[in-house]
Chains A and B, each alone.
Chain A
Amino acid sequence: MGKVMQAFLKGFSTVLNSKRIWFFQYAMNLLFALFIAYPLSKLLSKVAGNSLTIDQAIGNFNYTIINDFLQNYGLGIEAIKSQSVIVFIIYFCLLVFFNAGIIHVAQRFPGAYKFRDFLAGGAEYFWRFLRLSIYFLIIYLLLIFLAFKIVTIEGLSPFKLENELGLISRARIVIVILLILFFILNAISDIIKVFITRSRDTYITRSIVMGMSFFKKHFLKFVSLALLQLGLLLLITGSYLIFRKFSNGSPNWFFLVFLIGQFFIMFRIGLRIWRLSSVYQLILRV
C-alpha cells in the first residue's frame, strides 16, 4: 500500500510540475467547447434573445420552451449538431495526443522538461496510442453489445416475456459487471500506454501483452491506485454537482458558477495527468 500511496503522491507532484501542459489542455478544451457553445448561444440569442420566455425557462427545465425552440428553430440546431460531430472527433484525437505527451513528460520527472517535449512525445506515440484507443473502444463496444445480449437473452418482445423482472435483475447485475470491467480495462489501458512509451516497437501487440501480464501480476496495487483516483473524482464531482444544484438559475451566482465550473474542468484535466503519472510511478516502484 505504501508504494501505491507513494506513486499517487508522486503523480500529484508531476501534475504540479506540469502546469503549462495542464493549462494548455484546459485552453484546448475551452477552445473546442467554444466551437459548439458559441454558435448555439448565438442562435439562441438571435431567435429568443428578446423573448421573455428565455428568462422564464432559466431556473427550471422547461419542456414547452425547449420543444418550441427545437420545433420552430430546429434547422439551426441541425447545423450545429453536424459541426459538433467534427469537433468531438478532432478532440478525441487531441486527447490521444495529450495522453501520449503526458506519459512522455512524466518519465522525465523530477527532472526539468520543456513544453516541446510534451509535443514531441505526443507526436511520437500518437499513432500507437490512437490504435490502442481504437482497440479499447472496440472492446468497450463489444462488451456493451454482449451485455445487451445477456440482458435480452429472453428477447425484448413483450409477447414472449413472462414479465419484466428478469430483464430488470439481469440489467442490474450486468451493469455492475460492466462498470467493473470498464474500470479494470481503463487501468490496464494506462499501464499499456506506459509500456508503449518504453518500447521501440512500432507494433503495440507486445506492449499490450506485457501490460496485461504486469497488471495481472500487480493486480491489487493497480486496482488500489485506480480506486484512489476514482474516489477522488467522485468526491470532487459530487461536491460540484451539489454546488450546481444550489446555484442553479440564480443570476447572482453567474460568475461564481462559471468560475467553479471552470475549476472543475481544470480539476478533471489535472486528474488525467495525475492518473497517468501515478501509473508510471507505480510501474517504476513494483
Chain B
Amino acid sequence: MITRVATILLFCLSSSCLLKGQTISPRIANYKIQVELDVDQKTLKGSQKIIWQNISTDTIKELRFHLYYNAFKNDQSTFLKNGGRDGFLSNSEFGWTEVFSFIDSDDTQLVGNSYYDPVDDGNVKDQTVLVIPLASPIMPLGLGEFEMEWKAKIPKIMVRTGYNKDFYFFAQWFPKLGVYEPAGMRYATKGQWNCHQYHSSGEYYSDFGNYNVSMTLPRNFIVASSGDLLSKRDEGEMTVWNFSVEDVIDFTWSCSPHFVSEQRVHNGVKLKYYSYPYKTHFADRYFNTLSFTMDYLNDHLGPYPYPTLSIVDAPLHGIFCGGMEYPTLISSISFCFLPKGVRVAETLIAHEYIHQYFMQLIATNETEEPWMDEGITTYYEGRIMDALYEGNRASIDVLGFKVGNAEFNRTEFFGSSNIKIAPNTRKSWEFEDGGYSSISYNKTAIWLKTLEGLLGIEKMDEIMKEYFLRWKFKHPCKNDFVDIVNEISGTDMHWFFDQVLEDVLVCDYAVDYAWSVENEETGTYYSSVIVHRLGEMKIPVEVRMSFEDGSQRLEEWDGEAPSFRFSCNENSKLVSAEIDPDRKIYIDKNFINNSYSIKKSKSIKHYFNRFLMNTQQALEAFNFII
C-alpha cells in the first residue's frame, strides 16, 4: 500500500501536479488531456491521463465512462431515436468516439475487456456508456491512475457540440468518468456507478477535479476555453494551446479562425468574450448583464471562486451550441435582426452564469433531477433579470409591449399543452412525451417563487445561502434541498413539496362573490365573501376585504375546503375582496379570478373603446389593397 501511495505521488508530480493547489473541491476525477484537431477530417485524436480518487470504502472493480459523441454514431442511438431528429445528420456528419487503449499503472492494457452498457433502456445500438473492468481493483480511499488513447469523429452541430463550417464547439468531447456513489450518497443504498446513457433531454453529472488540457490545432485558429491559458506555442503549421482549471466538473472549449475577443475584469474575475466580428456590438450587453448577475449572486449566495469566465457568442451557423453552461465557460445566442428590447442575449447570459452555481458549484445530477439545476437557475434568472430591468420589461420591451422574466416563465408553463404532464421528480429521459422544459424550468421557478411568497424573501435568501454554503462542491439531491428548507424555515414544508414537487396538482383560488348589506338599525354593514378552491392544490392564502371608507381587513384561510365564506360586520360597505392580494401564490393559474369588485369595473368601457377603434382601423386597412 505504501509503495502504491508513493507511486501515486510520483505520478502526480510527473503529471504537472494535477492535484496541486489549494483544494476547494474533493478533486475526484482529474484529467490531463492532449488533443489534436484535424480540421480536414473533422477528427480529434486524444490521449489523457486520469487520476481517480476513490472516496468510498468500496473496492472498485470497474470504471464507467461517458462516450457522449457516440450518441451521434448512428440513428439508432438512444439520443437520436428519442430526440425525434431522424435524418438530421447525414452519414458523413455522424460523430463517434473510440477508445483504443486504456492502460493502468501496471501497464496492463484493459480495453480488450471493455464493453458498452445501455444501462437505462437496454438499447444495444447505444454506445454512450463504456465499462472498463479493472485488472487491479481500486482499494477503498485509494487512487487509480490510467492512460487512455482515443479518437473521435466530430459530429456536425446538431445540439450542444460539434462543428459547422469552421466553427467548432467541444462539449462532452472526451471520454468522461461517471460518478461513483457510495451507499448513503443521494439515493444510493449500496455503492454504485451513476453513469447514464446520453439522452436527448437532460444533461450531465460529473465529479469535481482538475483539468490540464493541451489542444493542437491550425495556427489561424483562436481558442475559447474553460479555465486559464497557461501557454501557447507554435509547432510548424500548428499551435499548441495549454489551459488549466481546478475544482470543476467538466472542461469545454471552442475554436474558430474568426473569433475576436474582448476582456474585462469584474470582481477580480477575468471575463473573456469570444464572438464573430459582425456581432461584437453585443459585448456591452453581455458584460453589463453579467456584472449585475455576478454581483447579485455574490451578495445572495457567495463568491464565484474561479479566476476566469469565458463567454462564447456562437455565430448563426453554430447557434445550436449556444445557450449552454459549462464550468467557467458559457455559450449564448444573439441575433442581429432582433430589436434591442428583445433581451434574448441578456437572459441567456444571466441564465448560463447562474448555472455556475446550480450545476457547477452545486453539482446536482442534471440527468436524474433536472429541476435542481434548470429550475433553480430559472428562478434566479427571474429574480435577477426583473431586478435589473424593473417594471416587468426584462424579457421584452419593444413598442410598448413589455414582458417581465418571471411572468414570461409563468406563462410558458401555464401555456404548455399539459401542465400536469409529469411531476418535478421525473428523470430527464422519462419526459418522452414532452414537458421537460415546462416542468423542469418553468414550473420549478414558479413554485420556488411561491415558496418565497410563503416564507418571505429574507427567509428564502437565508435558505438558498445555506443550501449553497453547505452543498457547494458536492452532489446534493432533492431531500437535501427539502431538509434545508425545513431546517431554516423552522417549519415542516413537506406538505408543500408533496404537492408541487411530487405531484401534478393545479392551484387556482378564486373569489366567487362578495356583497354587503346595510343594517338600518345599527348603521353597520354585514359583508360576505365566498372564496373557492378550484384546483387540487391546497395552500394557505390571505383574503383582503376592502371597504368604502378605505379600511381593509385581512383574513387567513387554510385553503383546504372547496369553498369558504368570510363574513363580518363593519361600519363601512364592502367594496372588493381579493384572494392572495400580494401575489405570494405565484403558482395560481389564474390571477383574474383572484379578486371581486362589487361594482363592475369602469375600465370595461375603455376596453370596449379600444376593441372598437382597433377593429374599425383593421377593417379600414383593407383599403390599402383594394
A residues sitting closer than 8 Å to B (CB atoms) are 29-30, 32-34, 36-38, 40-41, 44-45, 47-55, 57-58, 60-61, 63-65, 67-69, 71-73, 87-88, 91-92, 95-96, 99, 133, 136-137, 140, 158-165, 167-168, 171, 182, 186, 189, 249, 251, 254, 257-258, 261-262, 265, 268-269, 272
Which 9 pairs, one residue from A and one from B, show the smallest C-beta to C-beta distance? Answer: A37-B611, A52-B595, A41-B608, A33-B615, A37-B612, A261-B613, A33-B616, A67-B411, A63-B403
A168-B337 CB under 8 A given contacts A37-B608, A64-B411, A160-B317: yes
B414: which A residues are within 8 A, CB to CB? Answer: 67-68, 71
Bound: A50/B595 CA distance, A: 7
B224 to chain A, nearest CB (A): 18
Q: How far is the CA of A51 from the CA of B596 in the complex (A)?
A: 5
Q: Determine the residue in chain A with the shortest Cβ distance to B412.
A: A67
Residues of B within 8 A of A133 (CB): 625-626
CB atoms of B315 and A44 under 8 A apart: no
Interface string of B400-428 (1 = CB under 8 A from A): 11111001101100110000000000000
At the interface, is chain A mostly helix, strand, loop or mixed? helix
- A96, B624: Cα distance in complex, Å: 12
Q: Tell me how far the C-beta of B333 lies from the nearest C-beta in chain A, rounded to whole angstroms.
A: 10
| Distance A261 CA – B624 CA, assembled complex (angstroms) | 19
Q: Which of A68, A99, A262 contacts B626 (CB 8 A)?
A: A99
Please judge, given known A-B contacts A37-B608, A41-B611, whether A61 and B401 are in contact too, CB under 8 Å: yes
Chain B residues within 8 Å of A48, by CB: 592, 601
Give a binary string over B568-600; 1 marks a CB under 8 Å from any A CB, 0 the rest. Answer: 000000001010000000000111111111101
Q: List 30 A-B contacts (CB under 8 A).
A: A36-B611, A51-B596, A54-B592, A55-B602, A55-B603, A61-B400, A61-B402, A63-B392, A64-B591, A67-B414, A67-B415, A68-B589, A73-B592, A87-B619, A88-B618, A92-B626, A95-B622, A96-B626, A133-B626, A158-B317, A159-B164, A160-B317, A163-B317, A164-B316, A164-B337, A189-B626, A251-B602, A261-B613, A261-B616, A262-B613
Do A49 and B612 have beta carbons less than 8 Å apart?
A: no
Please name all residues of chain B whose beta carbon is closer than 8 Å to the beta carbon of A249 when the two chains form the complex.
606
Restricting to B315-366, which residues have a CB under 8 Å from any CB of A?
Answer: 315-317, 319-320, 335-337
Quick one: closest A residue to B602, CB to CB?
Answer: A251
Give the chain B neighbours of A92 by CB distance below 8 A: 622, 626
Say how far A226's CB is from chain B's closest CB, in angstroms: 12
- Tell whether, in the assembled complex, residue B624 and residue A53 are in contact, meaning their CB atoms are under 8 Å apart: no
Q: How far is the CB of B442 from chain A (nearest CB, A)?
A: 13
Residues of B contacting A33 in the complex (Cβ-Cβ under 8 angstroms): 612-613, 615-616, 619
- Residue B157 CB within 8 A of the other chain: yes
- Max chain B C-beta neighbours (<10 A), residue from A34, A67, A92, A96: A67
Complex CA gap A47/B603 in Å reads 13
Contact, CB under 8 Å: A41 / B623? no
Given contacts A50-B597, A50-B600, A254-B606, contact A88 B619 (CB under 8 A): yes
- Chain B residues contacting A165 (CB-CB under 8 Å) are 278, 336
A34 to B619, CA, bound (A): 11
Is B609 in the interface zone, CB < 8 Å from A?
A: yes
Residues of A contacting B410 in the complex (Cβ-Cβ under 8 angstroms): 64
- CB atoms of A51 and B593 under 8 A apart: yes
A53 and B625 CA atoms in complex are apart in Å by 39
A residues less than 8 Å from B549 (CB atoms): none
Q: Which residue of chain B is the closest to A39 with respect to CB atoms?
A: B611
Distance (Å) between the CB of A42 and the closest chain B CB? Answer: 9
Query: What are the residues of chain A within 8 A of B316 when measuring CB–CB?
Result: 158, 161-164
Give the Cβ gap from B540 to chain A, nearest Cβ, in Å: 21
Q: Are B600 and A29 within 8 A (Cβ)?
A: no
User: B6 an interface residue at 8 Å Cβ cutoff?
Assistant: no
Known pairs A48-B592, A53-B591, A164-B336 / 15 extra A-B pairs, C-beta < 8 Å: A36-B611, A37-B611, A50-B601, A52-B597, A52-B601, A67-B414, A68-B590, A71-B590, A73-B592, A88-B618, A133-B626, A159-B164, A168-B336, A251-B603, A258-B613
